[in-house]
């Protein structure tokens, strides 16, 4: 397992605090993936409990394709890569991520409105 959904995760407090917890600059969306990535980079093990069951409705309040969701998901995806991706892989991962994000957001009515601003703002909140 790479990174658990925070809605279904348990963290050791000392490990959570040593990793810096959730990055406040993310505000919402992908803050759990960012934490999981940082935990991996710090050498921590992430374990999935196969019998555990969690029900979580992602984006239930803001809507999966709302301008709010599209903007924060796009921005935080870029920030996540810039914060965590090892430099040798960043040159490959960032262009691929941007292409994938453009494809995904093109499928959303709010996509083309949120993505350019998200790309611009991503550099401000690392």
pLDDT tens for residues 31-84?
Answer: 999 999 999 999 999 898 989 888 877 777 777 777 788 788 888 888 898 889
Torsion from C-alpha of 49, 62, 74, 124, nearest 10 degrees: -110
Tens digit of each residue's pLDDT (9 = 90 or more) over 77-117: 888 988 899 988 998 988 888 788 778 767 766 555 566 77
pTM of the model: 0.79
In a domain, 27, yes or no: yes
Report yes or no on 1 lying in a domain: no
For residues 71 and 117, the answer to whether their CB atoms sit within 8 Å is: yes
Domain carrying residue 82: 6-122
- How many domains, the chain? 1
For every residue of 91-114, DSSP letters joined together read: HHHHHHHHHHHHHHHHTSTTHHHH
- Report the alpha-carbon distance of residue 115 to residue 72 in Å, rounded: 9
């Amino acid at each position: 397992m790479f990174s658990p959904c925070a809605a279904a995760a348990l963290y050791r407090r000392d490990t959570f605090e040593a990793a810096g917890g959730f990055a406040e600059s993310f505000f919402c969306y992908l803050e759990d993936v960012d934490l999981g990535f940082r935990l991996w980079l710090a050498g921590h093990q992430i374990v999935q409990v196969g019998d555990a069951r969690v029900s979580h409705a992602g984006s239930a309040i803001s809507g999966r394709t709302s301008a709010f969701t599209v903007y924060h998901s796009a921005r935080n995806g870029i920030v996540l890569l810039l914060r965590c991706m090892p430099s040798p892989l960043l040159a490959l991962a960032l262009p691929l991520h941007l292409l994938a994000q453009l494809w995904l957001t093109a499928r959303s009515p709010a996509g083309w409105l949120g993505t350019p601003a998200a790309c611009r703002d991503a550099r401000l909140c690392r």
